[in-house]
Structure 1
Amino acid sequence: MSDRRISGFKPTGPLQLGNYVGAIRPVVDGQDQPTIVFVADLHAMTVPGDPQRLRELSLQVAGLLLASGVDPRRTILYRQSDLPAHAELHYLLECVATYGEAHRMIQFKEKGGGSGTRLSLLTYPVLMAADILLHDIAEVPVGRDQRQHVELTRDLAMRFNERHGPVFTVPRATHPAIAARLADLADPAVKMGKTNASSNGVLFLLDPPDVLRRKIMRAVTDTAGEVAYDPENRPGVSNLLELLAVATGDDPRRIASGHTGYGALKRATADAVIALLEPIQRRYHALSEDDIEQVLAAGAERAAERADATVARTKAAMGLSSARPARAGSPATPETVPASR
């Protein structure tokens, strides 16, 4: 089984501290293992958007990944739309998937359904399956809210292998340790996200130091006045403690024992967050657009060898090519599986 890991970052808004803690930092820390990282610009097109904004955000995401420590000498970093194999395998898998499978995916149920809904919102889980299967990924680290996508990928891979022979590695979902769930500073009941309705409580990775400090100093706390770590009953104060813990590597409960007032806690949190993001911002602003484009182009070229081989053997198995199926690296090692569902 392959030990490669894969992570995709969708350029639907500026990256924020929660993205860094939950997704970017684990990638950077795990680069001793073969790693593939891509900017998922095709996934960003499931909803209407401005083309120039999409391009700018795609470059910004790639630049922040590099500035955060993603090393293109060890990690393959590319832009999804620069690798045609994604779109090609997506269509081939659509010829194996069913409408019912796509329609019952939770994101479509929550966001789709109207006559103006883009068809891509229905079919993008199949594109996610293509993202994984292109690279013969055996284990996919996901949060439990994303497990449904991996299950669809497994179903499509198993069904294809049963009908056409052993072409795909059948992946399985793994659940890494849960990172701190950073909440919106202005509304602790809401997760900090890059597309929140208001940016007042979101710490973006490129926010200037004065903006970061202002947002943190205005963070919602409570009227108790005592610093204590109690996420269920005192989410505002607990969120500040988690922010400070994220920035310093300390434990939020131990931090709480060393603070007696909200003002001092907010100042310490602001100082630590600014210190954490300063080197990332400095490295990001030192990158030119050409620097980023060169890394992405080189990454797409490296990724294409395996991805194109996967598409070639898929097409051959489906009768679309008379050539023998191409294989990149070790052959796929699909699991022994029961009849497809």
Structure 2
Amino acid sequence: MPPRSACSRLGAAVRYLSGKRSSPTVKEIGIYETLPSNSRVFSMIQPTGRIHLGNYLGAVKSWRTLSSTNPESEFIFGIADLHALTVQRPAQQLRDFRYQAIASLLSSGLDADKCILYFQSAVPEHSELNWYLTCITSMGQLNRMAQWKSKAQQAQNSTILDDAVVEATKAGLFCYPALQVADILIYKSTHVPVGDDQAQHLELCRTIARLFNSTYAVDFFPIPETLLTPAKKILSLKNPEKKMSKSDPVQAGCVYVTDTPDEIRRKIRKATTDSVQGQWKFDPVQRPGVSNLINIISGLTDRAIGDVVADLDGLKDHKALKDHVAELIIDEFDEKRQLYDDLLQNKDYLDSVCRKGSDHAREIASANIQQVKHIIGLD
């Protein structure tokens, strides 16, 4: 273990960032107050390394606010390292990505004292429930899922029944929506914050929860609800027709939490906008590049799009807009970048956080899986 002073310093830094902007703005209160007390909120991210601005504004920032402002509810946030196996990569790279993912969450302000942070693979009950639920999930339900087709680079109208498709698609990729269902239900989660690309999977989760309950004539699994948060869908800086992504071959379109101020300024300065002069306008169809920058401002400042646009009147040109966006990102990420670097230098501290989270998560999952085994006759 690192010296106690190092652990204490890192823990204090994480708690400081978690509380620095934990109070919701007027705009946020109306959304977050709809979360009933004693709810259990669950979500995960894949370990694909350091997080970017899209991850931060699209998920992590909302996780931080939710867990900081709802003390009567429980929050479980995991690193989906089992799902990461649907893409083959060197073992050491996966190890590095797992550490980078947990360091990213902690440096973004998630407080391990206010939520459970853990690695999915450290709780084997995920995989056990996955098998039980896969046995009641139809091939047709899995075939209709859209994401396995995009990840397998298949057309959205393709089917697993086609010989060429079935040969090109790994079984894990086709079946992973059932594991996602198990991820949610193993904790009897009541709410799941999701984006548009995961809405179909949450609907499958609800369907399978109802099917399990009706098959065994029980009222065991709650039907998880979609949790609406002010998350922002951030697009590529270079191609604002698609989401910001780590897999984008043009990495200038992606801003990472770990980028230096100079790197951030350079990427924002080269962001695709347009040649329209005059009044600023949020129009994702006609002005996608400018609208993406406005959306970033809205996400970073927790202000409505209309208010952001009104405040831009004082900016005379695109350069001024980009400079404004760059400085907001730099200010948001400066302390987080420094803490991220410190955390990666103290992996024993990261291990201790994950052990604590895994123990807590497994305590919940183990009790639930024993009840499931009794219900289906395996006790």
Secondary structure at the residue paired with 1:41? coil
CA shift in 2, pair 1:236/1:148, >3 Å: closer
Q: CA deviation at 1:192?
A: 1.3
CA shift in 2, pair 1:238/1:147, >3 Å: closer
Q: CA deviation at 1:296?
A: 0.6
Whole-Å Cα distance in 2 between the matches of residues 135 and 175 of structure 1? 16
**Partner of residue 7, structure 1:** 43
**Partner of residue 95, structure 2:** 55
Amino acid at match of 1:196: D
Q: Report matched runs for 1:278-289 at 5 Å.
A: 278-287=334-343, 288-289=346-347
Q: Which runs of 5+ in 2 are unaligned?
A: 1-35, 153-164
Could you say which structure has the higher helix fraction? 2
CA contact (8 A) 2:49 2:100 kept: no
**Partner of residue 79, structure 2:** 39
Residue 331 of structure 2 is aligned to residue 275 of structure 1 = yes
Secondary structure at the residue paired with 1:183? coil
Q: Cα RMSD (Å) of the superposition?
A: 1.9
CA shift in 2, pair 1:248/1:142, >3 Å: closer
Residue 323 of structure 2 is aligned to residue 297 of structure 1 = no
Secondary structure at the residue paired with 2:348? helix
**Partner of residue 309, structure 1:** 367
Q: Which runs of 5+ in 1 are unaligned?
A: 322-341
Amino acid at match of 2:287: R
Q: Aligned to 1:229, which of 281, 299, 309? A: 281
Whole-Å Cα distance in 1 between the matches of residues 299 and 243 of structure 2? 15
Q: Report matched runs for 1:85-104 at 5 Å.
A: 85-104=125-144
Amino acid at match of 1:22: G
Normalised to the residue count of structure 2, the TM-score between the two structures is 0.80
Whole-Å Cα distance in 2 between the matches of residues 234 and 163 of structure 1? 51
Amino acid at match of 2:189: I
Whole-Å Cα distance in 2 between the matches of residues 110 and 217 of structure 1? 31
Secondary structure at the residue paired with 1:115? helix
Secondary structure at the residue paired with 2:167? coil
Whole-Å Cα distance in 1 between the matches of residues 150 and 289 of structure 2? 28
Amino acid at match of 1:193: S
**Partner of residue 295, structure 2:** 242
Whole-Å Cα distance in 2 between the matches of residues 83 and 131 of structure 1? 10
Deviation per residue, 1:186-222 (Å, 9 max, x gap): 1122221222232111111111221111101111121
**Partner of residue 327, structure 1:** none
Whole-Å Cα distance in 1 between the matches of residues 151 and 302 of structure 2? 37
Q: Report matched runs for 1:1-341 at 5 Å.
A: 3-31=39-67, 32=70, 33-112=73-152, 113-166=165-218, 168-226=220-278, 228-231=280-283, 232-250=285-303, 251-287=307-343, 288-321=346-379
Secondary structure at the residue paired with 1:291? helix
Deviation per residue, 1:264-292 (Å, 9 max, x gap): 22222211111110011122122211111
